[in-house]
Amino acid sequence: MSEHTLSSQDAAELDTFIDHLWLEDGLSKNTLESYRLDLTSFALWLTPQNKQLLTVDQADIQQYLAVKFPLSKPRSISRLIASMRRFYRYLMRDNRISLDPTIQIQSPKLPRSLPKSLNEEEVIALLNAPNIEEPAGLRDRAMLELLYACGLRVSELVGVKVTEVSLGDGVVRITGKGSKTRLVPMGEEAVDWISRYLSGARAAILQKRLCDALFVTNRGEEMTRQAFWYLIKRHALLAGITKHMSPHVLRHAFATHLLNHGADLRVVQMLLGHSDISTTQIYTHVARERLKQLHSMHHPRG
């Protein structure tokens, strides 16, 4: 095999991983290409050593980083490590490998970037975009309302079953990462829109076909992550939102807006289903900026 050719197994692994990233997080084409380039370069470096992406250990990664460090900026190294970490965590979750080789690899310290989000006016415009006179539009409105009300991951949203929604109690049972379940309050608006969707639109879409998923398509099947990703992009365009849009952006908006209105970080952590508070702490930067603005606007010495 040529030193500059990926093995068919590595190429297939990368294709599957990139598809997963796109469907799960709705990442931009440039971001996906960065992941692919980082991991392809690593796979090609492994080739002369008769190793593949699934057979590396921590020593291989450290050796590769030692080669890359003198040639790269800290931000590039940080991105490379992030790509590797995401890839091997994905393999761990799928039980493809038994040990994460990146677990003790340290990234260079960089200032944290804030997640992309929408302001409250943009969210309202997005929620109002679907045509609720049509069954599919009513379904889309209910999906967007639930996504924003609960801060769900897209895989959690499309995975909700009818039996997991309690309109009377105003809660939905969510199965998150690692098959962990959590009860999330929906709020009156989401309850109202889901109730309206269930009272006629869902049956109109199914046309007597059976499906246990809450959100269904015209084929009588569960909505897919890919299909919803397209839907949210389309509704964002209708709403005049020019920012890069994905289901994950609405999850960020949920967390940011809760903190802006005084929610406790631990509560936001529970609602998002983060196992570690450090994952949630990125949002405190967003809230801090908001507090600075309020202080400068309203304090006599601001």
The string over 223-233, giving b where at least 16 C-beta atoms fall within 10 Å of a residue's C-beta and e elsewhere, is: bebeebbebbe
Closest CA to 135 of 197, 216, 219: 197
Active-site positions read 153, 177, 248, 251, 274, 283
